[in-house]
Structure 1
Amino acid sequence: MATPIPPPAVTVEEILAELDALDDPKMRAVNERHGNDIGVNLSQLRAIAKRLKTQLEFAQQLWATGDSQARLVAILISSPKKYTAEQLDTMLRETRVPKVHDWFINYILKKNPESESRRIPWMDDVDEFVASAGWALTSHAVAQRVENLKIAELLDAIEAEMKLAPDRLQWFMNECLASIGIHYPKYRARAIEIGERLEVLKDYPTPPNCTSPYAPIWIHEMVTRNEGASEVT
């Protein structure tokens, strides 16, 4: 058996300097228009994380810098399941940059079992980023068909709140609406009806060969695709 190669010994300052050297002003300007203070190509950032390997303590040190690019590296070299519920809550409330928020949800929260105990209170939080994470986790739970989900109540909340919700929260509530329509045939018609009536993201610009985030179209396309896959198998 080969001896595992330990991660390289580096300092936080060295990683910050490396990120600064890779920063592309033009890329940063484009990303900043979307709220992301990030100028490093994500492939280069992932290469740094791959070199560092998993280092929870070092990840926490990088996170503590508050630098968005360092935090993306921190997320990638973390041990997601080792964070406590309290740590997750604190870190979530510190994620004010969309790309960091997205990665934190997908690479940390969705992989940590403690998130399920916080998902519902997060959904009702007054902080848009915290509530958005709660809805993103709920959408994930719907897709996984987690037991004891109150689907009808979720649809009630979406119907009452999504239209006037802040943009980021609206996006994840809409994702949950689509997920319900895709994964729960019993509630599909209602999910589609809510989407058609509220018209959230109906005119969202969608590139060719991509699925529209408008829930009725999204639901129809995914259900059709899944049914086609079932027929093939």
Structure 2
Amino acid sequence: MKIDFELVMEELEKLSSERTKKIYIGQGAKEPLFGVATGAMKPLDKKYHGNQELANELYASGNYDAMYLAGVIANVETMSEDNFDKWMESAYFHMISDYIVAVTLAETSFAQEVADRWIKTEKELYMSAGFSCYCWLLGNQSDDVFDTVKLSKMLDEVKANIHSAPNRARYAMNSFVAAVGVSYLLLHEKAYEVAQEIGEIDVYRDDKKLKVSSAENEIKKAIDKNRIGFKRKNVRC
């Protein structure tokens, strides 16, 4: 049975708050949006999870909250690489590229191939989504699904290029080094060395410098808490 898109949008709007809306706008979201806390979407996820037709409608609406819900309920088994390319075309800021598109992509069988392709575009949000996808993958999947040589080369490339990379790409590249150092045992030591060489990175939002924890600091915290090798049970909540 086809779900009424407008009714779902009404359900979503009822969960909104002005405070949350202001927070999202401060992060870079634009109208249209309602301002729905992600945790408040859980009842809608339970109700509509796996309905890809609805997910596509929600994402295409351009409403930030609807786009987020689309990623939450998406049926990744039915999505193609082309679907994700189309989603990326509408990803206008990092919360969409890195926390909707990249997270959803990380649950597919072709995640690495798409992430590699996006990274090579050298477009800011595509690169950010690509490296972010690897962060989600590394923190969830077993080490044996990754190519150690490939990840090692990626660390070298990040070390050489991070400080000249586009703004949000720098943030995701920093997170990638931390993710390798924390969650991929075979390259833990190399990632830590790379993180030390990279040092602090500069990331800006509206010409304001953001406070960003260095990859070295993130790996060090994991070492202190005995969390090296950490894997989360799920990618999408």
Q: TM-score range by the shorter chain?
A: 0.7 to 0.9
Residue 69 of structure 1: CA displacement? 1.2
* 1:142-157 equivalent positions in 2, closer than 5 A: 142-143=138-139, 144-145=142-143, 146-149=145-148, 150-157=150-157
Deviations 1:17-41 (A, max 9, x none): 3333443233212221111244122
Equivalence for 2:162: 162
Counterpart amino acid of 2:119? M
Q: Which moved more, 1:152-161 or 1:48-57?
A: 48-57
Give, in whole Å, the separation in 2 of the partners of 1:215 and 1:99: 20
Percent sequence identity is 19
Equivalence for 1:103: 100
Distance 1:74 1:183, change over 3 A: closer
TM-score, normalised by the number of residues in structure 2: 0.76
Residue 175 of structure 1: CA displacement? 1.4
Q: 1:57 aligns with which of 53, 57, 63?
A: 53
Q: 1:23 aligns with which of 16, 21, 30?
A: 16
Give, in whole Å, the separation in 2 of the partners of 1:110 and 1:159: 24
Give, in whole Å, the separation in 2 of the partners of 1:73 and 1:50: 11
Residue 165 of structure 1: CA displacement? 2.2
Deviations 1:46-88 (A, max 9, x none): 3223223331112112222121111122222211121011112
State the aligned residue count. 216
Equivalence for 1:181: 181
Give, in whole Å, the separation in 2 of the partners of 1:103 and 1:46: 15
Equivalence for 1:208: none
Larger radius of gyration: 1
Deviations 1:157-181 (A, max 9, x none): 1111111323321121111212233
| RMSD after superposition | 3.0
Deviations 1:118-169 (A, max 9, x none): 2211111132111112112333455542342423311221111111323321
Give, in whole Å, the separation in 1 of the partners of 2:78 and 2:228: 40
> 1 or 2 for the larger relative contact order (CA 8 Å, sep ≥6)?
2
Give, in whole Å, the separation in 2 of the partners of 1:168 and 1:182: 21
Give, in whole Å, the separation in 1 of the partners of 2:20 and 2:184: 41
Equivalence for 1:4: none
Structure 1: 5+ residue stretches without partners: 1-6, 206-211
Give, in whole Å, the separation in 2 of the partners of 1:156 and 1:229: 21
Q: Which moved more, 1:138-147 or 1:172-181?
A: 138-147
